[in-house]
Amino acid sequence: MSLDGFIATKDDDLTFLNVVEKEGEDYGYTAFYETIDSVILGRRTYEKVISMGFKPHEDKETWIITQRPEPDKGHHHFYSGDLKELVLQLKEKEGKNVFVDGGAFVAQAFLKENLLDEIIVSIIPVLLGDGISLFGNDNPGLKLQLLETKSFEKGLVQLHYRVDPNL
């Protein structure tokens, strides 16, 4: 997200992400991706990634949160049910971690329902001033415990928190 908390401009422009592009640098994404086996993705994010010519998370079980269900497409499942039920279902399965990959609506819904164990935010050194807010204004007052901070040459800062409702 931008330093002021936006994941895109109001018209879904993501070009601000180019500020931190550096050949050969993935900011730990490959290592992180190996720790997961399921992904939860919002419908708008799913469609945006496809419109950019990519096929999101083809190698992982992916649950696309949507109000317009449609038949599954391989490992992609279109889900319109209760988020808590989905999380419980995925946690019961043997395997690795579940990655909630956005967008803002999904992130905010998971925060509101207290369904996240950890949050990793990569902050891009740019101020957008306006746009699509990652956390929104309906903050449930969750307390976070800082686990790790990383900074990178291009100015990206990564914050890794554990969500701790007992703090």
The domain that holds 131 is classified in CATH as 3.40.430.10
Q: How many CB atoms lie within 10 A of CB 166?
A: 5
- Whose tokens are 């998971």? That residue is 110
Maximal CA-CA distance, the chain: 44
Q: What is the pTM of this model?
A: 0.90
For residue 144, tell me if it sits in a domain: yes
Structural domain span for residue 90: 6-163
Q: Left (φ > 0), alpha (ψ -120 to 50) or beta: where does 129 sit? A: left
- Give CA angle at 28 (1, 41), nearest 5°: 55
The pLDDT, as a whole number, for residue 167 is 63
Residue 95 has pLDDT above 90, yes or no: no
Does 88 score more than 70 pLDDT? yes
Looking at the domain assignment, is residue 51 inside a domain?
A: yes
Chain segment 29-47, per-residue pLDDT in tens: 999 999 999 999 999 999 9
Residue 1 lies in a domain: no
Spatial separation of the C-alpha atoms in residues 30 and 35, rounded to whole Å: 9
146 belongs to a structural domain:
yes
Number of domains into which the chain is organized: 1
Which structure tokens are listed for 162? 């554990």
